[in-house]
Amino acid sequence: MTAPDGIHPTAVVDPKARVAASARIGAFAVIGPEVTIGADAEIGHHCVLEGRVEIGERARIGHGTILGGRPQDLKFKDGTPSGVRVGADTAIREYVTVHRATHAEEWTEIGAGCLIMAMSHVAHDCRLGDGVIVINYAGITGHCQIGDRATIGGLVGMVPFTRIGPYAYVGGCSKILHDIPPFVLVDGNPAAAHAINVVGLRRAGMKPADRRLLQDAFRLLYRSGLATPRAVERIRQELPVTGPVAELLDFIAGSRRGICGSAQSGTAAVDAAPSPESEPV
C-alpha cells in the first residue's frame, strides 16, 4: 500500500532529496540525494533518479525509467556536477533513459509539455524544447537540439550535434545526418525533405497566409534545383522575410552540418511525397 505522504514504503528516497509534499513515488523507486521533484509530479515504480535531476510540476515519469545516469561519453569524469532537467507537465513513459550532461554545471534538458514515449533514449547534453513528441524507440544522441513542438518518429536515429527545428516532423525509422529545418516534414534513410508540415502547423494555429509563405519558401529551397545559398538568396528577394520565413532562414544560417536534402533530388532512397502544391493549407 502507498504511504500517506505519497511515497511507497518500498521506495528508497535519500533524505537529502527535495520532494514536494504532493509528489508521488512508486514502489521500488530509487531517488538520489541531488534530486528535486516538483508539486504533483509522479514517479513510477522501479524508476531510478540519480545525480542532479530536476522534475517539474505535474510531470509523469513512467515505470522503469532511468534519469540522470552516467553519460555514454568517454570524456566524462566521475563526480562531474551535471544533471537532467524535465519541464512541467512533461510525460516520460516506460523504460526511457535520459543521461546527464558531460561537463560541469551543464544540463540535459527536456522542456515543458513534452511526451517521450517508451524505450526512447535522450543522450547527454541534448536540448528538447517545449511540446516535443518523441515516439517509441527513438535514439537521440549527444548534443542534439530539438525545437518546440517538433515530432520525432519511432526508431529514428540521430547523429550527434544535429538540430531539428521547431514544428518539424521526422518520419519513423529515419536516419538524421543533417539539420532538419523548422516546419519541414522529412523521412527516409538518410532523411530528406518532402513538404512543409502543413497538418502540424494547422493544428498549432498558424495562419493560412504564413503556411502559404512557408510552402513558397520550401519550393525555392527544395524544388528549384538551386544550391542552398542561392535558394536562400531567392527567398530573400521574392518573399517577405518575416515571421516563420525569417525563422526558417535564421535556422539555415546557423547550421554547421548543413540541412537535409530533397526527396526529389535523389538524396534519399524513398519515393517522393506529394508536392506542397497539392496539400491543403
Tell me how far apart the alpha carbons of residues 242 and 66 are, in angstroms, rounded to a whole number.
42
CA 90 to chain centre: 12
Q: Name the residue type at position 177.
A: L
Residue of 40, 89, 125, 179 marked active site: 125
Handedness of CA 257, 259, 263, 264 (dihedral sign): negative
Tell me how far apart the alpha carbons of residues 114 and 116 are, in angstroms, rounded to a whole number.
6
Tell me how far apart the alpha carbons of residues 176 and 162 are, in angstroms, rounded to a whole number.
8
Residue of 44, 64, 87, 142 marked active site: 142
Q: Name the residue type at position 117.
A: M
Residue of 46, 99, 124, 194 marked active site: 124
* Contact criterion met (CB below 8 Å) for 23 and 40: yes
CA 242 to chain centre: 25
For 58, phi then psi, to 5°, come to 65, 10
Q: Which of 101, 84, 104 is nearest to 37 (CA)?
A: 84
Write down the H helix ranges in the chain: 198-203, 208-222, 228-238, 243-253
Parallel/antiparallel/unpaired status of strands 192-196 and 184-187:
antiparallel
Q: Which residue in the block uniquely carries the three cell numbers 509563405?
A: 213
Residue 124 designated active-site: yes
How far from each other are the two terminal CA atoms of the chain, in whole angstroms?
Answer: 53
| Catalytic residue positions, numbered | 124-125, 142
